[in-house]
Amino acid sequence: MDGTVTSNASAFSGFHISPRLRRSHPPSEEAINDDAFPGHVCDGVTECVKYARDKLYCGADFIKIMGGRRVASPSDRLQNINARSKGPFRPRAVHKGTTNYQLRQFAEATLGSGSLRKAVKLPEGEDLNEWLAVNVVDFYNQINLLYGSITEFCSPQSCPEMKATDEFEYLWQDSENYKRPTKMPAPQYVEHLMAWVQSNIDNEQMFPSRIGVPFPKTFTSLLRQLFKRLYRVYAHIYCHHYPVIVHLGLEPHLNTSFKHYVLFVDEHSLASGKDFWGPLGDLVESMLRSD
């Protein structure tokens, strides 16, 4: 069951998740250049997306708050979104010797090499479903941190609808409380989205963590839905909160995280067509060309 988009474009979906067997990528000091991304104020969505495309950061690391900036740490801002959700954000432990641990180490090593295209490829001899599961949790962690950094600027008053551009409004739908597509403010939508993702990732029947337990036949379908819905948070941030991201000094981290996501979706054919990218289509094409 999926949400709908009130436009003539193809539908997207949305959700919220807690990580399975992992943590977000550790940043390296040398990857961040504090002088490379001066402050910028955008006039409207189009200019913001163009500025993001033109200033695209292609480094390998994710969240790093630069010294001297008046910005709360990612962990502090993460607490903001956790306080608004039903329960705390609790990653499962990753145990040495397990397949998940080994894949996690491989992902960290390839990301540290500076090659995002290399980082998204399936390691030789590894199970594809396990690789997809490991990475969807990482993307959840990244998106959770990014959205957590701007929650004070994304309120029911400032964002009464969950939108990207005006042509793309996302309605929430699930199998329990919202069986019909339902309009709601962006913060409420993201909260439902994250809780929905977390419940799926914590479901041992859908995301088995024990060695030798196979993934269900429906795993691929669920994974596509997870990636499709997670994209909506990126789209909302780019289209409605990009000036804030720039002001907070998080522009390189948003661009790196989104490019990593774009390359992963492209590498593993997780998009349902060109319309999948909707309002960020131009930015996505630029990212694919630049790698």
Tell me the binding residues: 154, 159, 236, 241
DSSP characters over 96-130: TTSHHHHHHHHHHHHHHTT-HHHHTSPPTT--HHH
| CA distance from start to end of the chain | 34
C-alpha gyration radius of the chain: 18
Question: How many C-beta atoms surround the C-beta of residue 190 within 10 A?
Answer: 31
Q: Which residues are annotated as a binding site for Zn(2+)?
A: 154, 159, 236, 241
Helix (H) or strand (E) holding 281: helix 281-290
Q: Is 145 exposed, middle or buried (0-12, 13-18, 19+ CB in 10 A)?
A: buried
